[in-house]
Structure 1
Amino acid sequence: MAGDEAQLAQLLTGQDRTMVLGAVRTAIGGGLTEEDIRLISNRKEQLKRFERLLTEPEYFRQEENLATTRGAEAVWQAFFEANQWIFGYGLNLIACESINDGKLERITTGANIFGGAGKRIDAIMRSKGLISSMLFCEIKTHDTELLSNTPYRVGVYQPSKELGGGVAQVQKTASKAQQLISSQLLTRIYEDDGTPTDVELSTTRPRQVVVIGSLREFTHNGAVNPEKMSSFELYRTSIQDVEVITFDELYERACFIVEDH
């Protein structure tokens, strides 16, 4: 109950941290550590920030003014860099992480991570397991349009230029990277200066993801436009090898991970 939580918070305010942690351990009967509490608390704080970026234009503009390059996309790039747990688990509910504890954005063709500079991808990740596989991702913004403003025919809406372009871009990047290493089933990852790492990836059919827009685009006065929604769903489910996920869907998946709802 909300009242019980408020009363508990009031009782614990100002108490010794070690005492509070011990009380929580006793109450739940588990091995909860201070690091566990810090991690959960930080992730909930980041979910609140995620929500503000999605729903508060003024807050987003403030964050955008702090970004040094590429405007609105840079805000999301920096956010996902700092919160790779959202990007990894939230995309496919399979644990993913950056290639070698580095940045999500990497150079994948030309002089690159496979050979040791070239075309950039907003995020390249690897699944976590005994053998890792590749995941390429293009990150747009939550305000990017998903569909063209005017219908192609009555009740038929075509994907926006940015959506179609994002899909084509991630497909081309993944294809070029795969061609570069097509002679091998596994490939080793290299640092920018050519230093080999201990990371090897499966190069078979890498997953491709475009994070773009918001489903709120299809609502008006609280109701959903079924023609727009169906046009979008038909398009994204028809694309082979590319998953299109909106920012609000990614947010909800991240909430499920942290809060189980």
Structure 2
Amino acid sequence: MSDLDWQALFASVPHPETDADYATLRTLGRTIIGRSFPLTYGHPDDIGHPARTIWQIIAESADAPGSFDDEGDEVELHQSPGGRVQVKARVVREKGNVAEIRFEKVTGRVNHDAQLTRLLNLDRDAANRLIDMCVALRGVDPAGGETVRIDEHALAAFLENPEALTSAYVESPDKFKALIEADASASDVIAIAARRKTLQRFEELLSDPAAFEAEREGGTRESVWQRFFEQNPWLLGVGLSGHLLTAWDKGRLERVVAGHSVADVGKRVDALLTTTGIVRSLAFAEIKLHDDDLLENASYRPGTWAPSRALSGGIAQSLVTIERARNDLGEWLGVRDDDGFRTGEDVFSAAPRSFLIIGRLESLTRDGQVHTDKVRSFELLRANLNAPEILTYDEVLARARWTVDVSMEAG
């Protein structure tokens, strides 16, 4: 290329001289961050402090109609008769301290008639309200059915310091609850967090005698576990069987299952459950104590340990309950609502499954080491017992913890 060609090419390239010239040349959507400089004007508290200016062209036309239709119009980069829209912001003193945001209209051509017209100027407070609102927009579900109002101070507390979420929630709990209820994923997170807290309480009741006794409230020791499982029925639902088990009555687990009917008086079972699916089947659970012995204290024969009185008694109680319930309930049990009316749903009750929750496998160990003969005796007993299925409290806890962990990984 000759010198004349280079000169002609150089002469054709725009050379911006004013702020308006630069604005006409900026690429749409690209953020430009200027060099730091000591502020010489503006708020007295800011003068002398380091500042940086940020620019971005956010629209090619300031007069665009309020429509989402894209007609495919081409826009010439260096000539904007409709007026491009430029946002100019200034950060002063410290990172994130936005002192001003200005919206400007850019018209004309570079090196010819380019002009900047101020559309809107936001001071420090207004600028930060706009920033907070723009961040909040990312989490708004367009399908929400109710109006939600979020206090700006509560939102700002979280945005400025995520660790202050607790404080923000305390300030405006209703606003956070409304957002969570409208967000399925958030609801899942809250549910998993609540289940983790339940597992912590479960473990505390198993390991801390003082905490367990504090829960008795003047009742029996068995009532502690009865209330705990009633408040958290999912523990039995996921912790007992390969089937998902649900409570017969959402309000309580303990029900009468023999003598007259499930709805009347008779033999009680600690937890009346049903399997889920197209065909529902009845399932019983007897809940004994977590510190009941699984085996007798002394061996029955060398290498052989007999079941404890608590375990053998629980097995006998479970078998009697199943037999009496089978005789009284028949093959199918009709479901009734709270007012006594039939719902049209039947539960298969001729061959109910039964579970016995008792003791802990920890009782078969010492200092973390298993007693081989004790473990063999216990495992052979329950492996060869058709009913009830025997589970220990630590096994129910482990199964529930695994389920929560899987839910966390899936999320």
Alignment match of 2:380 (pick from 234, 239, 244): 234
Match of 1:169 in 2: 317
Alignment match of 1:221 (pick from 367, 373, 379): 367
Match of 1:27 in 2: none
Alignment match of 1:246 (pick from 392, 396, 401): 392
For the residue of structure 2 that corresponds to 1:144, the secondary structure is: coil
- String of CA shifts for 1:71-105, please: whole Å, max 9, x gaps: 21111110000010011111113211111423110
Does residue 290 of structure 2 align to residue 142 of structure 1?
A: yes
Match of 1:80 in 2: 229
Gaps of 5+ in 2: 1-159, 170-174
Name the CA distance, whole Å, in 1 between partners of 2:400 and 2:228.
Answer: 13
Contact 1:208 1:242 in 2 (8 A): yes
Q: Report how far residue 192 of structure 1 moved.
A: 8.4
- String of CA shifts for 1:17-75, please: whole Å, max 9, x gaps: 789x99xxxxxxxx7433212211110100000010111111112112x2x43x21111
Q: Report how far residue 132 of structure 1 moved.
A: 0.7
Match of 2:163 in 1: 13
Does residue 300 of structure 2 align to residue 152 of structure 1?
A: yes
Name the CA distance, whole Å, in 1 between partners of 2:190 and 2:240.
Answer: 24
RMSD (Å), alpha carbons: 2.6
Q: In structure 2, do the counterparts of structure 1 residues 194 and 32 end up closer, same or farther at CA, with 3 Å as the change threshold?
A: closer
Structure 1 length-normalised TM: 0.83
Gaps of 5+ in 1: 1-9, 23-30
Higher relative contact order (CA 8 A, sep 6+): 1
Name the CA distance, whole Å, in 2 between partners of 1:147 and 1:193.
Answer: 45
For the residue of structure 2 that corresponds to 1:92, the secondary structure is: coil
Q: In structure 2, do the counterparts of structure 1 residues 198 and 72 end up closer, same or farther at CA, with 3 Å as the change threshold?
A: farther
For the residue of structure 2 that corresponds to 1:208, the secondary structure is: strand
AA in 2 matched with 1:257: T
Match of 1:4 in 2: none
Name the CA distance, whole Å, in 2 between partners of 1:211 and 1:50.
Answer: 14
Q: In structure 2, do the counterparts of structure 1 residues 46 and 252 end up closer, same or farther at CA, with 3 Å as the change threshold?
A: same
Match of 1:256 in 2: 402
Alignment match of 1:101 (pick from 221, 233, 250): 250
Find the structure with the greater CA-based Rg: 2
Count how many residue pairs are aligned between Structure 1 and Structure 2.
Answer: 238
Alignment match of 1:38 (pick from 190, 212, 228): 190
- String of CA shifts for 1:197-247, please: whole Å, max 9, x gaps: 454201231111000000111111221110111111111111113210000
Name the CA distance, whole Å, in 1 between partners of 2:309 and 2:345.
Answer: 36
Question: Quick one: percent identity of the two aligned structures?
Answer: 35
Name the CA distance, whole Å, in 2 between partners of 1:198 and 1:39.
Answer: 32
Contact 1:117 1:192 in 2 (8 A): no
Structure 2 length-normalised TM: 0.54
Q: In structure 2, do the counterparts of structure 1 residues 162 and 41 end up closer, same or farther at CA, with 3 Å as the change threshold?
A: same
Please identify which structure carries the higher helix content. Answer: 1
Name the CA distance, whole Å, in 2 between partners of 1:113 and 1:192.
Answer: 13
Contact 2:253 2:272 in 1 (8 A): yes
Name the CA distance, whole Å, in 2 between partners of 1:59 and 1:11.
Answer: 36
Contact 2:290 2:358 in 1 (8 A): yes
What are the within-5 Å matches in structure 2 for residues 53-132 of structure 1? 53-64=205-216, 66=217, 68-69=218-219, 71-113=220-262, 116-132=264-280
